[in-house]
Amino acid sequence: MRDHKKLRAFELADEVVILIYQLTQKFPSQEMYGLTAQTRRAAVSVTSNIVEGCSRESQSEYFRFLEIAYGSLRELEYQINLAIKLGFINSQEASGCLCKIEETLKVLGSLVLSMRSRRQPKD
Q: What CATH number is given for 4-118 in this structure?
A: 1.20.1440.60
- Is 1 a residue whose pLDDT tops 70? yes
Tell me, what's the pLDDT at 4? 95
pLDDT tens string 38-86: 999 999 999 999 999 999 999 999 999 999 999 999 999 999 999 999 9
Q: What are the contacts of 59-62 at 24+ separation with CB within 8 A?
A: 59/115, 59/119, 59/120, 59/123, 60/119, 60/123, 62/2, 62/115
